[in-house]
Structure 1
């Protein structure tokens, strides 16, 4: 999947909205597994949203969806098993990358690398399927999302100021 068209779609949707609706969309976009904070934070800050508010709202949206995944992963796993066709093609590339991170660095490495390399939702699912307890997965994923949110907010705001746009 190309990140550029996705960024344009997110930015276009945010630009078309106004007022508090923009921040509600930041929350919703951050909760979507493919979009997450990696796309919505730079897009929101690039459109002139307050960097701190954008970071806080995006963090909240991403963490909320991860907590929902952690809370319902058993039911979700059961549902996916019943829906998966018998001619399964094997794990996806994102899952394979996340599993490689898990094998090499464990839960902390997966939580810190996952948001950028595989997406935090895939990383959390891999950790849960590998047998980690829900509470440590939720805690470490929160740390990883927090680290990347701060880096993305700082990088986006600093980058705009370097370009003379902020």
Structure 2
């Protein structure tokens, strides 16, 4: 893989990790499966995911205003199944529980938005969400890396091996 190919791959890792619902932990697993080195992938994906979650938290009031203008009276309607699940987690486990369980169920961006909506401060939500994203990213990175290594795909890249004619 040439330098530009590697650079392009890392840019894609960053962008996909930054996009809501493409969580860092999922992007990390896919990139490692694809044969990219684990440590740079984990770092780049974590930075992409954390950056957009922090931006969402920083601008949450503007986002709420924009959403209210866009949806009008629909904002006050019955909450979605995801929102009800997140609120249940909030009531049962508080901010730390929602921050750690939410990204696996509804995504880190929606979890951060709901944490603020349910009463979490921007500072505490930022700290707990960053911790959660880092922990899950590391867990999935380590499990994926050692899982691939165990299967013998560590040096070749899982997807490359699947499509090669060897």
- Quickly name the TM-score band, shorter chain normalised: 0.7 to 0.9
The 1:80/1:87 distance shift into structure 2, 3 A limit, reads: closer
Unaligned segments of structure 2, at least 5 residues: 155-166
1:37-86 deviations in Å (ceiling 9; x for gaps): 13211110001111111010000000000000001000000110111154
TM-score under structure 2 normalisation?
Answer: 0.85
TM-score under structure 1 normalisation?
Answer: 0.85
Unaligned segments of structure 1, at least 5 residues: 1-16
1:101-156 deviations in Å (ceiling 9; x for gaps): 11110011111112211111111111100121101100000000010001010011
For the aligned residue pairs, the C-alpha RMSD in angstroms reads 1.5
Among 131, 144, 156, the alignment partner of 2:119 is: 131
1:20-45 deviations in Å (ceiling 9; x for gaps): 11111111100111111132111100
Q: Please state if 1:77 is matched with 2:64.
A: yes
Which residue in 2 is equivalent to 1:37? 24
Q: What aligned pairs does 1:7-156 form with structure 2 within 5 A after superposition? A: 18-86=5-73, 90-156=78-144
Which residue in 2 is equivalent to 1:161? 149
Which residue in 1 is equivalent to 2:164? none
Which has the greater radius of gyration?
Answer: 2
